[in-house]
Chains A and B, each alone.
Chain A
């Protein structure tokens, strides 16, 4: 393993708590799986499995490495005063954009043609407004950090 920060040390899996948890959790999980298979006509287990595994792979192979690389890039290249505001701004913006995708795409409007009260908001405008507030905050914190570090450097001199 090449990374400098080692993964958390593994815990030995033993004792009554582990085995009880495994038994109870396993029973609950299998109950859910049995229900999913019993309602197969509606739950479509093969499609369900594709989504489950697909989302997991998209996270582990695409999303997480991308976040890791961007985070590394900011940590390595951004000036120190700007580092955490930029990281916070990027994380907040990413989450906001991700959670807004369904209303931004607006596919749901086609489910009730002519009904203006389905997805009635101006979501691009709303998201732009929120993102503007977030990045104004980044700007403010970044400038504040620069000023503070300059004042500190002057005082130390």
Chain B
């Protein structure tokens, strides 16, 4: 004897429309997730541009935004389709059995993606498996299951959408003129909506006290999500430089020892005027937080037009090195940062030198550089 379902909100149309919402949200998550995967492990045909500087941040903000929005959407979808769990007989033939079997990886995988993704936001890894690899492969499994489910439910979906169109046609003009009222990107509300993904704090100043960095005792007022993995003073570290073109006939030094004084970087490195620019310009390249400014960058001579650059951190393990494609290597806002807000970097921020590149993942802004090699 099954339960009694009496809610008038349940039904084919509700389920179909919620299904469309979940499909769109998961689709955006898949595309933005794949983008991040391609940037971090680029195949030969893929080159991620360094401009516009906000593009990566925005795409990943959209990933998180849609992922969190998918939680209530998926739960509502499951609620609306819940009576189907008690349908008897559970399967009616081979094709139906196949379709229902694919629901297990679809729903289980979707729940797994959302739960582990949410826990990842809170740095909570309460499972044994590697989050990134598992999230990536599960996303493919869920995508496949979603395609199977969609092909099975296409007639239902078409019927629901046709009913929606008929209802819209019957509606009075005043009501129907609001259809598709998603704020256009050019309008003020549109600009506000489209700029929300990737923002670190609410746009409203009244919420300032709730901003995370307002409460954090972060070094030099800038957030840091990775502390140095090895103890001891890094004052004696040496950063090796290789493959750099010579400047004015002199070859680049093979190694750059760090001293306690600022701007101790010799050789082809220079402090460019643009690196000491007003805050508005600095604001375009501040991946570590508001108020951060870096003062030294590689400028002259620039790497060859087709040269990539590999940086290696003293820290070992995941994310210990990053490969800059030519666009990022030659971007004037790509920095080997020595300072933060006018003082040498603190260990949490990558002392003595770290990489800062525009529109790249945080995990590629390598800290505690051991070597910089032009390839």
Using a CB–CB cutoff of 8 Å, the interface residues on chain A facing chain B are: 1-8, 10-11, 13-14, 17-18, 20-22, 24-33, 35-36, 39, 42-44, 47-48, 51-53, 55-56, 59-60, 64-65, 67-68, 71-72, 75, 91, 95, 98-99, 101-103, 105-109, 111-112, 114-122, 126, 129
The 9 closest A-B CB pairs, nearest first, are: A21-B151, A29-B144, A108-B123, A32-B140, A102-B122, A25-B147, A28-B144, A120-B216, A25-B148
The interface bits of chain B over 202-240 (1 if a CB of A lies within 8 angstroms of the residue's CB, else 0) are 000000001011011110000111110000000000000
B residues 251-306 touching A (CB-CB < 8 Å): none
Residues of B within 8 A of A42 (CB): 129-130, 133-134
Q: Does B96 contact A (CB under 8 A)?
A: yes
Would you call A121 and B212 a contact (CB within 8 A)? Answer: yes
**When A28-B140, A31-B140, A116-B218 are in contact, do A20 and B151 touch as well, CB less than 8 Å?**
yes
**Separation of A155 and B215 alpha carbons in the complex (Å):** 55
Q: How far is the CA of A99 from the CA of B68 in the complex (A)?
A: 8
Within 8 A of A (CB), among B74-119: 75, 78-79, 81-88, 92-93, 95-96, 98-99, 102, 104-105, 107-109, 111-112, 115-116, 118-119
What residue in chain A is nearest B4 (Cβ atoms)? A3
Report if A29-B216 is in contact (Cβ < 8 Å); known contacts: A67-B79, A115-B348: no
Chain A CB within 10 Å — which of B104, B144, B226 has the most? B144
Minimum Cβ distance to chain A for residue B93 (Å): 8
Q: A32-B140, A36-B134, A56-B104 are in contact. Are A11 and B152 (CB under 8 A)?
A: yes
* Complex alpha-carbon distance, A46 and B141, angstroms: 16
Looking at B9-17, B183-191, B332-340, the stretch in contact with chain A turns out to be B9-17
Does B126 count as interface, using CB distance less than 8 angstroms? yes
Q: Name the prevailing secondary structure of the B interface residues.
A: helix
Contact A3 B3 (CB under 8 A): yes
B212 engages A60 (CB within 8 Å): no
- CB neighbours of B111 from chain A (8 A): 52, 55-56, 59
| Interface residue B143 (Cβ < 8 Å from any Cβ of A) | yes
Tell whether, in the assembled complex, residue B83 and residue A3 are in contact, meaning their CB atoms are under 8 Å apart: yes
Q: A59-B78, A95-B75, A99-B68 are in contact. Are A8 and B11 (CB under 8 A)?
A: yes
A-B contact list, 21 entries, CB within 8 Å: A3-B2, A6-B83, A13-B98, A14-B95, A18-B95, A18-B154, A25-B145, A25-B148, A25-B149, A25-B150, A36-B134, A39-B137, A48-B138, A55-B115, A56-B107, A64-B78, A98-B71, A101-B118, A112-B226, A115-B227, A120-B216
Residue of A nearest to B75 (CB): A95
State in angstroms the CA–CA spacing of A48 and B111 once bound together.
12
Within 8 Å by CB of B127, from A28, A51, A64, A105, lies A51
Q: Which residues of B contact A122 (CB under 8 A)?
A: 210, 215
Residue of A nearest to B10 (CB): A5
Say whether A120 contacts B215, CB under 8 Å: yes
Q: Please indicate the chain B residues that have their CB under 8 angstroms from the CB of A14 in the complex.
A: 95
Q: A47-B129, A99-B118, A103-B122 are in contact. Are A29 and B141 (CB under 8 A)?
A: yes
With an 8 A cutoff between CB atoms, is B311 at the interface?
Answer: no
B182 contacts chain A at the CB level, 8 A cutoff: no
A33 touches B151 (CB 8 A): no
Contact of B224 among A33, A106, A115 (CB under 8 A): A115
- Smallest beta-carbon distance A121→chain B, Å: 5
Q: Is the CB–CB distance between B145 and A29 below 8 Å?
A: yes
CA distance A118 to B218 in the complex (A): 9
Could you tell me if A95 and B108 are in contact, using CB atoms closer than 8 angstroms?
Answer: no
Query: Which chain B residues lie closer than 8 Å to A17 at the CB level?
Result: 151, 154
B7 adjacent to A75 (CB under 8 Å): yes
Given A2-B2, A56-B104, CB of A21 within 8 Å of CB of B148: yes
